[in-house]
Amino acid sequence: MSDLTIGRESVSASARSASDLYRAVWRWHFYAGLLVLPFMITLAITGGLYLFKDEIDAVIHSELKRVEVQQGANRAAPSTMVAAALAVYPGIAVKFTDPATPDVSAEVTIGTEAEGKLAVYVNPYTAKVLGALPDRGTVMWTIRYLHSLKYFGNYARMLIEIAAGWSILLVATGVYLWWPRLQTGGVLSVRGTPKRRVFWRDTHAVTGIFVGFFIVFLAITGMPWSGVWGGKVNEWANGNNFGYPAGVRVAVPMSDEHLDHVAKTSWSLEQAQVPHSSGHAHHVQAIGLDDAVATFDRLGLHRGYAVNIPTTADGVFTGSVYPDDLSKQRVVHLDQYSGTPLIDMSYADYGPLGKSLEWGINTHLGQQFGLANQLVLLAACAAIILLAVSAAVMWWKRRPAGSLGVPPMPDDKRVVRGLIAMLAVGGVFFPLVGPSLVVMLAADWVYIRSRTKRSA
């Protein structure tokens, strides 16, 4: 080997190595996209709608949720509103929701034998029943269940967790593919026209680099709702001391019931157990709903709080509220006989992990920063849809006739093994990603074998 060829060989080897790595990353970016992009479109559409849940529900269900403000008029007593609701829809009242603003109706949740749980809407000034829907039967609750695939069972919901984990890997591989390599276009600008593939390639790359942060943020902040990752982290973070953070008094009799089964609650309190009322053992007269509401008002719960009404002799009145302002989140349990607060906890009592995750959840829902939060995430959802559509068009224009168009394998198989090892790290942090990686590896092996046999 001459002196003239030594340097050239080094450059050639370096170029081949870079080319092999690019091919390997491109191939797995393609596979991740096949898995993730259909979910991302669905999540972006439903998530974009859910950002405006209060506004949309107020319009669609205005005859139930909106009332005319009667200046100077006293509101009917909560017990009167509950009695009016039960007169029209017989059953057991299990929850009363205080009107958040003067132009909003009160909501009484009733358990019925024939129709299950109903949300009954009552005019708080006249106690007139405005109508009813199935509990969590509004349009926005439907959108929320579609967003989480809750309608399709727990196994379907696991797909969301897999998609969330893979979307993070999709962004990581996408950033590598986008990284400038002496090209002048397709980094922050779009070349060509929609008739050309390069237009869709650049649209995909430029959109991806701007929206990548939001994809990762939404994936991570959505993980607390997932069945495996979210459930395990919740147990680890909140599973001790009856699920309550350190510093909250829990030296009271506790039931075996978890708060998440009794009332809609925050992620940090799903493991919290509900205390007992002890007065029933001494035949003490229970306080009524009106006294419980008066106590919650005196304690300063944010307007719009829900009151879970005890249905057993040792149950408690639970007042809970989760407004846009995280600092106003609060849960208070009252002894149904003495009216004494047994546990009173707010956002300030959460631990560091709970506070961080609750902040992420609140921002994910578009609540933390008001209208600006909603508009920024709406733009991100629109960009995610554009990202998915541009990927599909780009693939279709590149795909050879009669072929799936999978990017080529690198010549050096060690590069593939190294990349898979890095992807496997993601499978450690996101448990369902690991098995899905094995499935994709098997599918890739089958695809390679079938291509080899056809070409032989």
pLDDT single digits (tens) 148-193: 888 887 777 788 888 888 898 899 889 988 988 777 777 888 898 8
Q: Is 116 helix (H, G, I), strand (E, B) or coil?
A: strand
pLDDT of residue 418: 75
CA–CA gap between residue 292 and residue 290 (Å, rounded): 5
Q: Is 343 helix (H, G, I), strand (E, B) or coil?
A: strand
Of residues 32, 40, 159, 162, the one with CA closest to residue 433: 162
Compute CA distances 56 → 32, 51, 98, 184, 383, whole Å: 34, 9, 20, 44, 22
pTM of the model: 0.86
pLDDT of residue 1: 43
Of residues 77, 95, 78, 82, the one with CA closest to residue 136: 95
Average pLDDT, rounded, for the chain: 85
Whether 360 contacts 220, CB under 8 Å: yes
Of residues 142, 120, 168, 95, the one with CA closest to residue 318: 95
Angle (CA) 320-326-327 rounded to 5° is 85
The phi, psi pair for 192, rounded to 5°, reads 75, -165
Q: Is 86 helix (H, G, I), strand (E, B) or coil?
A: helix
Q: What is the pLDDT of residues 288-344, one digit of tens each?
A: 999 999 999 999 999 999 999 998 888 999 999 999 999 999 999 999 999 999 999
CATH of domain 62-137: 3.10.450.40
CA–CA gap between residue 390 and residue 326 (Å, rounded): 37
Number of Cβ within a 10 Å radius of residue 260 = 17
CA–CA gap between residue 54 and residue 60 (Å, rounded): 10
CA–CA gap between residue 46 and residue 143 (Å, rounded): 6
The whole-number average pLDDT for the span 70-91 is: 95
Of residues 73, 83, 82, 54, the one with CA closest to residue 304: 54
Number of Cβ within a 10 Å radius of residue 371 = 9
Query: Which residues have C-beta within 8 Å of that of residue 61, sequence separation ≥ 6?
Result: 133, 138, 139
Q: What is the pLDDT of residues 37-73, one digit of tens each?
A: 888 999 999 999 999 999 999 999 999 999 999 988 8
Whether 255 contacts 314, CB under 8 Å: yes
Whether 50 contacts 147, CB under 8 Å: yes
- Encode burial over 151-175: b for 16+ CB neighbours within 10 A, e otherwise: eeeeeebbbbbbbbbbbbbbbbbbe
Q: What proportion of the chain, given as a percentage, has pLDDT over 90?
A: 47
> To 10 degrees, what angle do helices 3-50 and 139-148 make?
150
pLDDT at 9 over 70: no
Q: What sign does the CA torsion over 211, 216, 219, 220 have?
A: negative
CATH 3.10.450.40 placement within the chain = 62-137
